[in-house]
């Protein structure tokens, strides 16, 4: 294999192709750039690989074997995600390349196949700027998804303070879209709730005022019942009202940019983050979240999404490697599904439609199912989990 200036360029010309190595000169030529000396600086790599992708490459992986300790040594640019990878321990390039090919063969999209090669789940940056390695807690995951035992969090590397303690599950997690509905589920006994009021395209001043009122009323109700409230999306309002926590999807977090995410962190709000794929899990870890949501566990009609159902196998894998409490979401309608999700290791199980029109009639059975599943998870601790199946069609 050819090498130039220390950097090594690995290129997939098709999503299911075989990675091949290009020299720096080849990469520059394919990108329509003039040859240069010395090698490109880290800040130049995103622009260079973007040019390669624009000219047809399905994915580009740039490895820097000489990266200083504490600095990301890998840049990934693919259809679904791009970013700097901070991983430990360092592995031989040939080992990484073989693992990437194995993950592609298993049907994973290029970015997931790449991120699965390390023995510990890496962190993936949200932006293009290189920086110090992320400090998210690494938990063991097998290279290319072999079966692995339950990892144990060292006592001196506890999750951030806003994360629920490992022995205090979030439990049944009700998601509702109005303050009166939220109060009803609280009165029925739920103690983890989310107010999800999506902003309509024609939102006006009246809608914003109604959102503020709903947020204030929901926060008051949660405090009255000693419950934890996550406000979906509207994090600035949540901070203004004195809420403790919010839930944000990955598209919203990306749209915030570096400055917006820094502003969010500065509020001190606990953060729940959605994740559907390995790359989204790797990004979420870098935010030290209160929890990471894994979904959809079962098919759902609540949202139109491209993701394959995670199933209980992927959910169990998520619970072992996330480094934060995991919340199961998607298609959970009946008590036995709640039990199974909790038995897979979920700290919380989200229910929307399964709450029915009268939560007083449904919550008791759902909570009992969660507790049964949680006890099963404790009894099964240390058992192996199946390897991860792809969550997105590699041809998409």
- Say whether both 323 and 196 belong to one domain: yes
Burial class (CB in 10 A: 0-12, 13-18, 19+), 187: middle
- Say whether both 82 and 210 belong to one domain: no
Residue 143 lies in a domain: no
| Nearest CA among 363, 275, 351 for reference residue 319 | 275
- Please spell the DSSP secondary structure of 227-286, one letter per residue: -EEEEES-HHHHHHHT-SEEEE-HHHHHHHHHHHHHHHHHTT-EEEEEE-SHHHHHHHHT
pLDDT tens-digit readout, 10-43: 999 988 889 999 999 999 999 998 887 677 888 8
Q: How far apart are the C-alpha atoms of 174 and 66, rounded to whole Å? A: 48
Residue 332 lies in a domain: yes
370 preceded by a cis bond (ω within 30 of 0): no
Cβ count near 362 (within 10 Å): 19
- Say whether both 162 and 295 belong to one domain: yes
Which range marks the domain in which residue 252 is found?
A: 156-379
Tell me the C-alpha to C-alpha distance, in Å, between residue 194 and each of 46, 127, 183, 212: 37, 28, 11, 15
Q: Which of 104, 135, 166 finishes a domain?
A: 135
- Please spell the DSSP secondary structure of 154-221, one letter per residue: -GGGPPPTTSPPTTS--EEEEEESSHHHHHHHHHTT--EEEE--PPPTT--HHHHHHHHHHHHHHHHH
Residue 141 lies in a domain: no
Beta strands in 46-136, from DSSP E residues, in sequence order: 59-63, 74-78, 82-86, 123-124
Predicted pLDDT of residue 20 = 94
Q: How far apart are the C-alpha atoms of 276 and 308, rounded to whole Å? A: 9
| Beta-ladder partners of 333 | none
Q: Which of 103, 135, 167 finishes a domain?
A: 135
- Say whether both 69 and 202 belong to one domain: no
Predicted pLDDT of residue 64 = 86
Q: In the structure, how many helices (H) and strands (E) does the chain have? A: 12, 14
Please give the structure tokens belonging to residue 187. 């009165």
Beta strands in 58-128, from DSSP E residues, in sequence order: 59-63, 74-78, 82-86, 123-124
Q: b/e per residue, 82-97, with b = 16+ CB within 10 A?
A: bbbbbbeeebebeebb
Tell me the C-alpha to C-alpha distance, in Å, between residue 169 and each of 198, 231, 334, 336, 363: 27, 19, 19, 18, 17
Spatial neighbors of 180 by CB under 8 A, at least 6 apart, are none
Predicted pLDDT of residue 145 = 34
Do the strands 8-12 and 59-63 form a parallel or antiparallel pair, or are they unpaired?
antiparallel
Residue 394 lies in a domain: no
Residue 181 lies in a domain: yes
Q: Which of 102, 135, 168 finishes a domain?
A: 135
Tell me how many domains the chain contains.
Answer: 2
- Say whether both 241 and 295 belong to one domain: yes
- Say whether both 16 and 122 belong to one domain: yes
Q: How far apart are the C-alpha atoms of 342 and 375, rounded to whole Å? A: 8
Place of tokens 């439609």: 353
Please give the structure tokens belonging to residue 7. 């950097």
Please give the structure tokens belonging to residue 151. 């990892």
Average pLDDT, the chain: 88
- Say whether both 213 and 246 belong to one domain: yes
- Say whether both 252 and 129 belong to one domain: no
Residue 388 lies in a domain: no
In the chain, which stretches have pLDDT less than 70? 1-5, 37, 69-70, 131-167, 302-303, 395-396
- Say whether both 165 and 96 belong to one domain: no
Residue 151 lies in a domain: no
Which CATH number belongs to the domain containing residue 257 in this structure?
A: 3.20.20.70
Predicted pLDDT of residue 5 = 54
- Say whether both 79 and 122 belong to one domain: yes
- Say whether both 109 and 195 belong to one domain: no
- Say whether both 111 and 241 belong to one domain: no
Residue 126 lies in a domain: yes
296 preceded by a cis bond (ω within 30 of 0): yes
State the DSSP code for 353. G
> CA-based Rg of the chain, rounded to a whole angstrom?
22
Q: b/e per residue, 364-394, with b = 16+ CB within 10 A?
A: eebbebbbbbbeebeeeeeeebebbbbbbeb
Contact 194, 173 (CB under 8 A): yes
């Amino acid at each position: 294999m050819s090498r130039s200036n220390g950097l090594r360029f690995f290129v997939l010309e098709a999503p299911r192709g075989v990675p091949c190595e290009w020299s720096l000169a080849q990469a520059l030529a394919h990108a329509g750039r003039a040859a240069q000396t010395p090698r490109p600086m880290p800040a130049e790599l995103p622009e260079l690989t973007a040019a390669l992708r624009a000219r047809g490459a399905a994915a580009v992986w740039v490895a820097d074997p000489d990266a200083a300790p504490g600095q990301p040594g890998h840049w990934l640019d693919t259809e679904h995600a791009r970013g700097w990878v901070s991983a430990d321990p360092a592995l031989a390039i040939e080992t990484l390349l073989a693992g990437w090919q194995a993950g592609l063969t298993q049907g994973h999209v290029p970015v997931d196949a790449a991120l699965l090669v390390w023995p510990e789940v890496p962190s993936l940056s949200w932006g293009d700027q290189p920086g110090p390695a992320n400090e998210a807690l690494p938990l063991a995951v097998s290279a290319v998804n072999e079966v692995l035992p339950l990892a144990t969090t060292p006592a001196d590397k506890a999750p951030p303070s806003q994360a629920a303690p490992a022995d205090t599950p979030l439990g049944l997690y009700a998601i509702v879209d109005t303050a009166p509905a939220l109060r009803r589920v609280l009165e029925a006994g739920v103690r983890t709730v989310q107010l999800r009021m999506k902003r309509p395209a024609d939102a006006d001043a009246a809608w914003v005022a109604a959102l503020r009122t709903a947020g204030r009323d929901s926060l008051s109700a949660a405090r009255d019942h000693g419950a934890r409230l996550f406000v979906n999306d509207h994090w600035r309002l949540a901070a203004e009202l004195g809420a403790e926590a919010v839930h944000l999807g990955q598209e919203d977090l990306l749209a915030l940019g570096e400055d917006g995410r820094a502003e969010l962190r500065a509020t001190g709000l606990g953060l729940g983050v959605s994740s559907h794929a390995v790359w989204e899990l790797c990004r979420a870890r870098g935010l030290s979240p209160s929890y990471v949501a894994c979904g959809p566990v079962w098919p759902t009609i609540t949202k139109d999404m491209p993701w394959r159902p995670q199933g209980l196998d992927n959910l169990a894998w998520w619970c072992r490697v996330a480094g934060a409490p995991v919340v199961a979401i998607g298609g959970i309608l009946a008590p036995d599904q709640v039990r199974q999700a909790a038995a897979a290791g979920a700290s919380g199980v989200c229910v929307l439609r399964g709450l029915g029109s009268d939560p007083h009639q449904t919550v008791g059975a759902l909570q009992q199912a969660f507790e049964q599943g949680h006890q099963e998870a404790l009894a099964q601790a240390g058992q192996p989990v199946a390897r991860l199946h792809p969550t997105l069609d590699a041809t998409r």
